[in-house]
Amino acid sequence: MTGVRDIAAVGPFARDRRTGRRVGAPYASELVWAVAFILPYAAVFAGFGLYPIAYGLWIGKDPALYAELFANAHFFEVALNTAIFAGFGANAMMVLALLLSGFFMQRRRWIKALLVLCLLPWALPAIPAYVSFHWMLLGEYGLLNSLARELFGLQWPVWFNERWTALAADIVAYMWKWLPFWILIFLAGRMAIPPDLYEAADIDGADGPRRFFHVTLPLLANLYLICTALCAIWIVGDFSAAKLVSVGSPGMSSEVLASLSVRYAFVSSRPGLGVAAALSTLLVLVPLVVLLMRRIEARRLQL
């Protein structure tokens, strides 16, 4: 160890006067270490991420594929399903998660115990959850319809016989699985709000709804927007809900783009068409990602 050189290396680090943080690029000796430390990440990212993506783009560059894709009316049906799933699902999920996080803020014992139980759907892997939803909603003798009939004498529809109810079943199952995660995110967000603000609002005579609309909502607005965009992005990429809950029934009319692309590629052996279907989601994904990046950027500047 050459102690003197190391001290020299540590000593003159430039510091930002206001934050006290180190700024600027590292010295050459450190740069070697920095590159070595990042190398495994870069290798995985390049080998298992960029390379397949680049190859996917290369497969999907043929315009004829898109002509074939758009010529099929089924594609637009599926695109509409995906849009409804993401648009309705993400917004409903966020509204519910935001409101329920307020419910779980109450400092009562039974509510804390309830939260622990309500995390169960999140802890459960997706496959068992969706498989259970499939059987619960299947036919006239699934658990849900049977309960409605035995307890209330109601005759509910056969959910998977109709495109819209089948799609709704997928959305509900997806929300069941992921709602606890978003509730936790908003709980953390609410906990980060300084209590003084609520005390000040109390002194000004604000009641429940006003506290929500004038304190909580403005402070959580950015987080809410980020989460909505992220949730929509994840829904567009989700394959398992449509594949396992409704299984596309009736007649593949409740499919989404993710399951359609996998079906084209691996069942119909048309990888090009599958990639084209997957790439068509970029029309929605790119604006969402841009929104996400901008909001996160704004947040960074604010902090």
Secondary structure (3-state) at 139: coil
- Give Cα 93 distance to the centre of its chain: 10
The whole-angstrom separation of Cα 247 and Cα 161 is 11
Contact 100, 183 (CB under 8 A): yes
Minimum distance, C-beta of residue 34 to another protein, in the bound complex (Å): 4
Looking only at residues 60 through 99 of this chain, which bind another protein when binding is defined by CB under 8 A? none
Q: How far is the CB of 82 from another protein (least distance, A)?
A: 10
156: contact with another protein by CB under 8 A: no
Provide the 3-class DSSP secondary structure of residue 87. helix
The answer to the question of residue 133 lying near another protein (CB under 8 A) is yes
**What residues numbered 238-267 form the site for another protein, per CB under 8 A?**
239-240, 244, 247, 257-259, 261-262, 265-266
For position 219 contacting another protein by CB under 8 A, the verdict is no
Given candidates 132, 212, 250, 252, which one binds another protein under the rule CB under 8 A? 132
User: Which of these, 96, 294, 242, 297, lies nearest to 183 by C-alpha position?
Assistant: 96
User: Mask: binding to another protein, 6-45, rule CB under 8 A, as x and -?
Assistant: xx-xx--x-------xx-xxx---xx-xxx-xx-xx--xx
d(CA 159, CA 1): 72
Among the listed ranges 61-69, 87-95, 156-164, 268-276, the one in contact with another protein (CB under 8 A) is: 268-276
Q: How far apart are CA 236 and CA 190, in angstroms?
A: 28
By CB under 8 A, name the one of 59, 84, 92, 158 that touches another protein: 59
Nearest distance from C-beta of residue 135 to another protein, angstroms:
5
- Measured from the CB of residue 8, what is the shortest distance to another protein in angstroms? 11
Interface residue with another protein among 62, 68, 88, 121 (CB under 8 A) is 121
| 119 is a site residue for another protein (CB under 8 A) | yes
Write down the least CB distance from residue 162 to another protein, Å.
20
| Candidate list 67, 95, 105, 120; residue touching another protein; CB under 8 A | 120
Closest approach of Cβ 152 to another protein, in Å? 12
As measured in angstroms, the least distance from the Cβ of 213 to another protein is 15
Distance CA 26, CA 32 (A): 10
Spatial CA neighbour of 280 closest among 52, 69, 53 = 69
203 in contact with another protein (CB under 8 A): no
Binder of another protein out of 84, 92, 131, 197 (CB under 8 A): 131
Where helices occur in the chain by DSSP H, the ranges are: 3-10, 28-44, 51-59, 63-71, 73-104, 109-118, 120-123, 126-137, 143-152, 163-191, 195-203, 208-211, 217-236, 240-241, 257-266, 271-279, 282-302
CB of 230 to another protein, least distance (A): 7
Query: Residue 98 burial by CB count (10 A; 0-12/13-18/19+): exposed, middle or buried?
Result: buried
At CB < 8 A and 24+ separation, what contacts does 280-289 make?
280/66, 280/69, 280/75, 280/79, 281/82, 281/236, 281/237, 281/257, 284/83, 284/86, 284/232, 284/236, 285/233, 285/236, 288/229, 288/232, 288/233, 289/229, 289/233
Q: Point out which span in 55-63, 69-77, 83-91, 158-166 binds another protein (CB under 8 A).
A: 55-63
Binds another protein by CB under 8 A, chosen from 61, 87, 202, 221: 202
Task: Choose, by CB under 8 A, the member of 12, 18, 64, 141 that binds another protein.
Answer: 141
